[in-house]
Each structure stands twice: as C-alpha cells, then as structure tokens.
Amino acid sequence: MTPEEFRKAGHELIDWIADYRQKIPGLPVRAQVQPGEVRTALPPQPPAKIEEFGALLTDLDRIIVPGITQVQHPMHYGWFPSNASLASVLGDIASSGLGTLGISWESCPALTEVEEVVCDWLRQLTGLSDRWKGTIHDTASTACVTAMILARERASGMSKNGSGLQGAAAPLIVYSTGQAHSSIAKAVQLAGFGNDNLRFIEEDPYTRAMLPGALALAIEQDLAAGNIPAGIVCSVGATATTAMDPVDAIAAVASRHGIWLHVDAAMAGSAMLLPECRHLWRGVEQADSLAWNPHKWMGTILDTALFYVRDVDHLERVMSTNPTYLHSSADGQVTQYRDWGIPLGRRFRALKLWFHLRLDGIDAIQARLRRDLDNAQWLKAQVESSENWEVLAPVALQTVCIRHVPLDDAGLPLCGDALDRHTLAWLGRINASGAAFMSASVLDGRWMVRVSIGVEDTTAAHVARLWELIQASASTN
Ligand SMILES: *Cc1c(COP(=O)(O)O)cnc(C)c1O
C-alpha cells in the first residue's frame, strides 16, 4: 500500500469508526453470535488475490461488529469500564503510523522520553511523590509478574544469577487475599513461587479487606517454620467488590520484615486522579511497586498499564541484559526501558496517554469519574431502599454488588440454590436481551450481580433505566 492509497483508505476508516461509535447505543450490548459463528463466516484459506478496501469495511460491518460485546455501550455494566476514548484512539493510530521500534533509547529516543514524561504526569495526577518512576506495560497482569520477580530476587539474594529458586534453602512465601484478582495467583505461580507458597490472608467479613493482624501472624508462623516471607500483594479495589486492603497497616508489616509490597490498583487507580479518593490508598508511598490501568475507567485505550517502582536500581539489576548489539554511546545517560520489564521490543504506547490527556484533558476526565461515583451512590440508595433487595458490599467507587431475595411460596426469603437460580435467571434475561449487560460473581458461595458503572457515555439517565430493567426482570417468574 502506498502512502496515497493509505490516505484514501485511512480517511474512509476514520469515517467508518466515527459512524460506528455513533451507532453503538442502538446495538445489542452483548454479542449475539454463537460460538464459532465468526470463524465460519471467514474463508478457511488465506486470500489468494488482493481485495478492495471497501470489501474490508463491508466485512467489518457484516462479520466483526456483530461479534463484539459493546463495552463502549452506555448500557454496558459488565466486568469493569473498558473505556477507549477517541482521543487515545488517535494516539494509538499515530503510534502505529509512526512504525517505531522500541528496543533501546537509540532505536527511538522519543518513545523513551515521552514515556518518561507521561508516566511522570500520571504520577503527579495521582498524588504520588517523585520517588516513584514509571513505565507502561501491556497489562496489570504483566506488571504483577514483574513485581513478583522483583520480590523473588530481593528475598533470594538475586538467585537468578545462580541456580534460581532450585537452589533456595527454604520456600519463599507470598501473601494476598482470596479477593485478589486471578492474575495475582497466576503471577505468583509463574514467578516460580508455586501455589503452595501463596497464602490467602483472612479478610474483614463485610469490607473484604485484608486483616493486617492476620497478615502479621501468618508471617510470624512462616518465619517460625523456617520459610522466607518474600512478597505481599495488596489490592486497592479488588475485583469482585472493590475491596480496599489497608495499605498503610500492611506496609508497616512489610517494612518490619523487609518484604516486597506490590499494590494492585488496576481498576481503582483511576480514582486516584480525584484527590478526595486518595485516602483509599493511604500508605502507598511505603509500597515497593504499584500498578494501575488507565485502560480501564480512566479511558485510555488498551493496552496501557502503568507500573511504578521506587527502587529502579533493583528493577534494572533484575531485568537488564546488555548484549553488544544493543550498545550505544548514550548508555548511562538515558533510560533503557528494556531493562524495566520482560519484553525487548516495545510499542510507542505513551502516545495514547499523551493524546488522551492533551485532547480530553484531566478536568473532563475527573468530572466523568465524579459523575460515575455519584451514579453508583444513587443506585446503591435505590437498591437499599427497595424491599427484597440487598447491597452486598461497601460501594467504595463505581461498582454496586446486588442481590434480589424475594419471598418463596411459604413467605420465607429465597435461599440456597433456588436463590442462585433466581439471580442468574433475572440477570440472564437482561443480558440475553441485549438491552444491558452486567456480570455475575460468587460471594461467600452465592451468586450476586455486579453493576460496574463507568462507561464514558453512561449518564444518570442510563443508570436509572438500568434499575428499571433490573426490577422488571427480577419480578418476572
Ligand atoms: C483488571 C484487573 C487486573 C488485570 O488487569 P489486566 O490489565 O487485564 O491484566 C488485575 N487486578 C485488578 C484488581 C483488576 O481490576
């Protein structure tokens, strides 16, 4: 494709994207396709002849759009807000169009230095001190694997330079809670600790926050048994109910024993753009590493996960390689992001944040986050004041966990498996209709529905409409 052909097709594509975004409110929220339907709509063999650009646009409409669960839909309340602001989409397109190669500072000085600057802007915007240095990963999952490797290497005295964990005299232990995101257990497994060495610390039965006293006790027990406490993963906004582990009390325990403390704020980090929410991670300055996803609620398109550390020297000791073919005269004066994480080649992801912050602006982002917090409190109030409805967890941010408990034929509150069937049935009717989408999750052994508010286009009127849909569906037998 020549630049002139690209210009023509590119204009058409931008028009197509703008039209698509405007059409979203009229589309079903959940993809209505059956398993395999998209695949069978595609030719099994690769194309033998080149095609017109128009044929691709037709297939985007015909095959791809029906195969998308519309997470940009204002009635999407599933999982978490996965906003993709159009300003950041432009940054993503710019990043692709530039065709840069990020393998060293020299291979694209701008890639490195814009990343340094935007990570520092986000540091300031979330109220972190300048002791933190950041980089952009694809996801919080990768950031957590990186953090667990840093924990492992600190606790093992840089075992990677010798026989690795196979030479360890005693098991290295990581602590978290049962509320932590599944990526935490995965990171602990992949970093070589093994699942047996991951301890789920007791939580407060209502807030689901880690109990620091129970953490301290578990650490004492491990020390007495000759084990080596190596890492703690603290959730600021755990997945099911947005539980907030008390970072300050946990950090005090961690520092007493020199244990690496990673703060997983993948979802809730966006809230720290609001000064009034920062008490939720009080003590974060004492942590060792921290990750959050602008690609969730804040709305910079995937994949934009921020990873901050305080001890860059340790990060570089663990992650650096220095092959001769990457040597350059700038070494020692510049940041080499390949020494800050797992991949060598990196995309120019910082442009997404750069465009987002410059074109949408922090004021508008903050106003939207505050709108969502208000909408969540409104919904919580409706649910709490309605008969047979329960709010199951504190509404710390924008997620409201609810359950409908109607009376059975004998006039007693529905319970057990019958209650689960009822919950999944009323939710299933709404999701299947395409009118709105929410996800379910198990809390204390029973299904509940999570209403995760925060799509860019979701207004108070949409949340009110959702509450009507929920009540209507739950009262259908
Ligand atoms: C979404 C989420 C993750 C995983 O994020 P990815 O960027 O998709 O890997 C981890 N932890 C929490 C609390 C999350 O909300």
Nearest to 467 by CA among 397, 385, 369, 368: 385
Average pLDDT of span 136-159? 96
Q: How far is CA 113 from CA 118, 180, 254, in A?
A: 9, 33, 33
pLDDT digits (tens, 9 = 90+) for 378-426: 999 999 999 999 999 999 999 999 999 999 989 999 999 999 999 999 9
Tell me the residue type at 371. R
Contact 199, 232 (CB under 8 A): no
Cβ–ligand 1 contact at 137 (below 6 Å): no
Bridge partners (DSSP) listed for residue 401? 450
Alpha-carbon span 461 to 468, nearest angstrom: 11
397 in the same domain as 315: no
Structure tokens at 45: 């063999």
| pLDDT for the residue numbered 169 | 83
| pLDDT for the residue numbered 477 | 63
111 in the same domain as 42: no
Residues 6+ positions from 37 with CB-CB distance below 8 Å: 67
DSSP 8-state assignment for residue 210: B
Q: Do the strands 133-137 and 305-309 form a parallel or antiparallel pair, or are they unpaired? A: antiparallel
Measured in whole angstroms, how far is the alpha carbon of residue 375 from the centre of its chain?
21
- The answer to the question of residue 379 being in a domain is yes
Alpha-carbon span 415 to 286, nearest angstrom: 44
What percent of the chain clears pLDDT 70, i.e. is strictly above it?
100
Alpha-carbon span 263 to 180, nearest angstrom: 11
Residues 6+ positions from 97 with CB-CB distance below 8 Å: none
Residues 6+ positions from 314 with CB-CB distance below 8 Å: 150, 153, 154
Give the residue from 360, 381, 416 where a domain finishes: 360
CA of 192 to the centre of ligand 1 (A): 20
Average pLDDT of span 175-192? 96
Q: Three-class SS of residue 3?
A: helix
Nearest to 79 by CA among 269, 219, 267: 267
**168 pLDDT exceeds 90?**
no
Which residue, by CA, sits nearest to atom 2 of ligand 1?
266
CA of 263 to the centre of ligand 1 (A): 12
pTM of the model: 0.96
258 in the same domain as 113: yes
Cβ–ligand 1 contact at 181 (below 6 Å): yes
**194 pLDDT exceeds 70?**
yes
Structure tokens at 146: 């990186």
Give the residue from 360, 376, 397 where a domain finishes: 360
Give the residue from 360, 386, 412 where a domain finishes: 360
- Ligand 1 atom with least separation from CA of 265: 13
- The answer to the question of residue 333 being in a domain is yes
| pLDDT for the residue numbered 207 | 95
- The answer to the question of residue 81 being in a domain is no
182 in the same domain as 38: no
- The answer to the question of residue 87 being in a domain is no
- Ligand 1 atom with least separation from CA of 142: 9
Alpha-carbon span 272 to 128, nearest angstrom: 9
**181 pLDDT exceeds 80?**
yes
112 in the same domain as 46: no
What percent of the chain clears pLDDT 90, i.e. is strictly above it?
95
Alpha-carbon span 97 to 404, nearest angstrom: 50
Tell me the residue type at 465. R
CA of 140 to the centre of ligand 1 (A): 5
- Mean per-residue pLDDT over the chain, rounded: 96
Cβ–ligand 1 contact at 454 (below 6 Å): no
| pLDDT for the residue numbered 328 | 80
The C-alpha angle 164, 167, 169, rounded to 5 degrees, equals: 125
Cβ–ligand 1 contact at 140 (below 6 Å): yes
306 in the same domain as 180: yes
| pLDDT for the residue numbered 329 | 82
- Region of residue 264 (left: phi > 0; alpha: psi -120 to 50; beta: else): beta
- Ligand 1 atom with least separation from CA of 138: 7
Top mutation candidate among 179, 186, 293, 342 for ligand 1, by most atoms within 8 Å of CB = 293
DSSP 8-state assignment for residue 346: B
284 in the same domain as 209: yes
Alpha-carbon span 150 to 190, nearest angstrom: 13
Alpha-carbon span 376 to 152, nearest angstrom: 39
pLDDT class of 321 with cuts at 50, 70, 90: confident
Q: Give residue 455's domain range.
A: 362-474
Q: Write down the H helix ranges in 24-71.
A: 37-40, 53-59
In the chain, how many domains are there?
3
**330 against 47, higher pLDDT:** 47
DSSP 8-state assignment for residue 64: I
pLDDT class of 322 with cuts at 50, 70, 90: confident
Q: What CATH number has the domain bearing residue 220?
A: 3.40.640.10
Cβ–ligand 1 contact at 237 (below 6 Å): yes
Nearest to 458 by CA among 403, 400, 401, 390: 400
Average pLDDT of span 305-325? 92
366 in the same domain as 290: no
200 in the same domain as 62: no
| pLDDT for the residue numbered 300 | 98
Alpha-carbon span 26 to 17, nearest angstrom: 15
Contact 443, 392 (CB under 8 A): yes
- The answer to the question of residue 109 being in a domain is yes
Residues 6+ positions from 251 with CB-CB distance below 8 Å: 234, 261, 283, 284, 286, 287
- The answer to the question of residue 78 being in a domain is no
- The answer to the question of residue 469 being in a domain is yes
- Ligand 1 atom with least separation from CA of 296: 1
Q: What CATH number has the domain bearing residue 31?
A: 1.20.1340.10
pLDDT digits (tens, 9 = 90+) for 290-302: 999 999 999 999 9
Nearest to 284 by CA among 339, 227, 327, 246: 246
Cβ–ligand 1 contact at 183 (below 6 Å): yes
Cβ–ligand 1 contact at 305 (below 6 Å): yes
**325 pLDDT exceeds 80?**
no
263 in the same domain as 227: yes
CA of 141 to the centre of ligand 1 (A): 6
Nearest to 179 by CA among 242, 250, 114: 242
- Ligand 1 atom with least separation from CA of 180: 13
Alpha-carbon span 280 to 455, nearest angstrom: 22
Alpha-carbon span 122 to 354, nearest angstrom: 10
For the chain, how many residues are written? Answer: 477
Q: Three-class SS of residue 225?
A: coil
Residue with tokens 């069937």: 421
pLDDT digits (tens, 9 = 90+) for 65-111: 999 999 999 999 999 999 999 999 999 999 999 999 999 999 999 99
Measured in whole angstroms, how far is the alpha carbon of residue 404 from the centre of its chain?
28
- The answer to the question of residue 83 being in a domain is no
CA of 238 to the centre of ligand 1 (A): 9
302 in the same domain as 158: yes
Backbone angles phi, psi at 290, to 5 degrees: -155, 135
Q: What CATH number has the domain bearing residue 393?
A: 3.90.1150.170
191 in the same domain as 318: yes
Q: Three-class SS of residue 403?
A: strand
